[in-house]
Amino acid sequence: MSELATRLEERLRSGEARLGTLGLGYVGLPLSVEFATGGLRVTGFDLSREKVDAVNRGESYIKDVPASRVRALVDEGRLRASSDFDLLGECDAVIICVPTPLGKTKDPDLSMVVDAAKAIAHRLRPGQLVVLESTTYPGTTEELILPILAGKGLGVGEGFFLAFSPERVDPGNARYNTRNTPKIIGGMTPVCTRVARALYARAIDTVIPVSSTQTAEMVKLLENTFRSVNIGLVNEVALMCDRLGVDVWEVIEAAASKPFGFMPFFPGPGLGGHCIPIDPLYLSWKLKTLNYRARFIELAGEINSAMPEHVCERVAQALNDREKSVKGSRVLVLGVTYKRDVDDVRESPALDILKILEGKGARVGYNDPYVPELQLDRTALRSQELLPAVRGADVVVIVTDHSAYPYREIVEAAPVVVDTRNATRGIRSPKILKI
């Protein structure tokens, strides 16, 4: 192992090393806080002045990160934020955790990853470690990041170190957090893996090395493709059960009693969040370049993306049964975040449902305790007071099953409820229509 690697490993283990995190969003801020708690001095970088100023004031804008933790770390001098990328030169290790959205043509948009890599390369010095955490297609670290960093003339594994470690953030999960969720590490060389493992050991309980960056990249895509495909399967089963007149929720509950060979997944109004609806498409896109069609991914995406329309058909059915049309009816959506008990609306199926119903002439409104305001294309909406809005609606649609909702009171107050999450299980009422 090179002298530079040995020195960096010693600095990481002793806690003398300084870490930089590029991106202070849902991944970057929790990660920065965990590493600072683990004893490293951390600088979080972001282009957003609002985020930088908030962190430096000791505030948190991420629900899962208590402001008290941020404030304590800032006061101790363990955590700071900056938009001055020249400070990257002070860092012994840099983690890239910037967004990787899809473009309008559903192709990967890695422009922010490239910009981050160029910012690091401009200031790269011997002995630095760079880790990519942003979700992407297999081969990105080697084919895209390495050439940018290698342009400085330093050899990977000797002059600098490069690895990939997929983020595994699950917002709102009370059991698993950044520290106790096992971390996958894949380096460009065995030395890169070893150094990256020493870094993550400061903040993560369990670190699992794999043989390459491509393997680590594929791990993340398998995890979310697994969920996407299985959710697609159970959504199709829900559509089948609807036509057969069978309760899909009863079917799943009964099947889950089998102690082997079955894992329950649940239908819903569609997929949301930044990972499950998007990550499988990175893999599908990569495989197309290799003349291979990822059929399971494409079919699951087709089924899952059709669920908001199915929900709207159920709304129309519920109104029709009461001799009302969608046009002119007051439709109240409960929950607009992509999952329960979080404040994230990215890719939320609720947005599609609201847009579809509005396009059909419905007078749409919503309530969500985590989202006070919502921009729906050109329409600005505000969260309505719960029970008065329920009483004033022609139909109530439960899209996100927040724990705080009093479902029995909602059913009693509403004229009819379309339940897309089985949130009203245990409540018997002819008012309830499930997907």
Sign, CA torsion 318/320/323/329: positive
Contact status, residue 207 vs residue 185, Cβ threshold 8 Å: yes
The amino acid that residue 270 corresponds to is G
Q: How far apart are the first and last CA of the chain?
A: 59
| Selected catalytic residue, list 91, 97, 275, 312 | 275
Q: Is 241 a catalytic residue?
A: no
Q: What is the 3-state secondary structure (H, E, C) of 247-264?
A: CHHHHHHHHCCCCCCCCC
Sign, CA torsion 21/22/23/26: negative
Q: Helix crossing, 213-244 with 279-289: angle to 10°?
A: 110
Task: State how far Cα 225 lies from the chain centre.
Answer: 13
Radius of gyration of the chain measured on its C-alpha atoms: 24
Give strand ranges (E) for 141-252.
Answer: 161-164, 183-187, 207-209
3-class SS shares of the chain: helix, strand, coil, % to 5 = 40, 15, 45
340: left (phi over 0), alpha (psi -120 to 50) or beta: beta
The amino acid that residue 169 corresponds to is V
The Cα–Cα gap between 318 and 386 comes to 20
Positions annotated as catalytic residues are: 275
